[in-house]
Amino acid sequence: MQRFEVNRQAFTEWRGQEQTKPVLVEGEVRLAIDFFAFTANNLTYAVAGDMLGYWNFFPVVPDDGYGVIPVWGFADVIESRCDEVLVGERLYGYFQPSGELVIAPTNVSSSLLIDGTAHRQSLPVLYNQYQRIAKGQGGGLAGRLQALLGPLYMTGYAIADQLAVNQCYGAQQVVIVSASSKTSIGLAEALAESDQSSKVVGLTSPQNVAFVEGLGVYDQVVAYDAIDSLSNSSAVVIDMAGSGETAEKLREHFADELNYYISVGLTHWDKARGSGGAPQERHEMFFAPTYIIERTKALGPGEFNRRLQGFLERASAKAVIWLKLNEVDSVEALGALYTDVCAGIMDPSEGIICKFSPH
């Protein structure tokens, strides 16, 4: 069984590393990973791997400088030494890009369980949760859409919720950087459903302008080389790219009219450099797990999740119109596409689904 691993200091370099099959101890279950998604968002996990602990979910032992980028997908229980989780059950959650994973279920309820593996206990609980999937669910197109879009649209929805709570920081326009990214599309979809009146502007590369315009969720689409054409009215910037050059151009363009700057992703990881000079009191790094936990407490049990799930169902259904699935079946095939992901030249309408054999 091979696992997809990348060099933590030069993560364009990848390898397929053979894994031994651990013997289960009491309380553990073995999962056969059915399929998982891989998107530009996974690069954010790599770039922020040391800062936010993403390398710690599935450590490489012994440590030789390589790390594992976590992925979202579905798996089936194929062996169990946990009385509460039976062989044949299906789970959705955070996995390693491989064919198998061993977890230690705790806090098992009818709909969720948490991996109690020791090294994961200091990490955000949202990433340690696994949804228990009803029999016959979590496969086919619906499952693939959930793996691809669920985590990204969840982040987009959470950002839109924060904007709504803060009345878009008094800005007349919301400028979304890297508008072709799936997280940005989810954010734009959520803003389109809300009652906010701010203009929604998408910034993207020239080659992606036509695609982004075709989505119909942005009021205006502007290429990076045409930032000067943006209105000078007050703005809040949602930065999914992390490019220091673009951030600096936006700061210069809006000047005192830059009401707030929210950094989210690092799709332009090779050009990353801060927030373009936005004052600290008007800049934040958005971390979805923290926001969701806080918002859940504020709204009461289940309410945020109810709203989120409704949005995910509606928005994912719309994505069928433009999303093209590209399914691969080996570490080598993923590696070939990973090179394009790192280079930022993937077709934005493409969604990568990986289905490795556990043997």
Query: Residues 308-325: what's their mean pLDDT?
Result: 95
Choose between 49 and 172: higher pLDDT. Answer: 172
Alpha helices, DSSP H only, in the chain?
41-47, 49-52, 125-128, 140-165, 182-193, 209-215, 244-254, 288-299, 303-319, 331-343
How far apart are the C-alpha atoms of 314 and 146, rounded to whole Å? 12
From CA 324, how far away is CA 306, in angstroms rounded? 28
pLDDT tens per residue, range 11-21: 899 999 999 99
Nearest CA to 190 out of 238, 243, 140 is that of 238
State mean pLDDT over 180-195.
95
Own/partner long-range contacts of 280-285 (Cβ < 8 Å, ≥24 apart): 282/258, 284/260
CA distances from 126 to 49, 54, 90, 216, 277 (A): 16, 13, 18, 32, 31
Q: What proportion of the chain, given as a percentage, has pLDDT over 70?
A: 94
Mean pLDDT of 140-166: 96
Q: Do domains 2-138+323-354 and 150-291 have the same CATH topology?
A: no
Overall average pLDDT of the 58-69 stretch: 95
269 pLDDT band, cuts 50/70/90, is very low
Q: How far apart are the C-alpha atoms of 338 and 336, rounded to whole Å?
A: 5
Q: Pairing mode, if any, of strands 2-7 and 14-18?
A: antiparallel
Q: DSSP letter for 277, please.
A: T
Going from the C-alpha of 10 to that of each of 3, 45, 125, 340, the distances in angstroms are: 18, 14, 28, 15
Across the range 328-357, mean pLDDT stands at 91
pLDDT average, residue stretch 34-50: 88
Q: Average model confidence (pLDDT) for the chain?
A: 92
Q: Tell me: the pLDDT tens digits for 70-110? A: 999 999 999 999 999 999 999 999 999 999 999 999 999 99
What one-character DSSP code corresponds to residue 28?
-
Mean pLDDT of 2-14: 94
Single-letter residue type at 272: A
Domain boundaries of the chain, sorted by first residue: 2-138+323-354, 150-291
Q: How far is CA 30 from CA 86, 93, 247, in A?
A: 10, 14, 45
Q: Is 221 in a helix, a strand, or coil?
A: strand
pLDDT at 86: 96
- Which CATH number is 2-138+323-354 given? 3.90.180.10
CATH superfamily of 150-291: NAD(P)-binding Rossmann-like Domain (3.40.50.720)
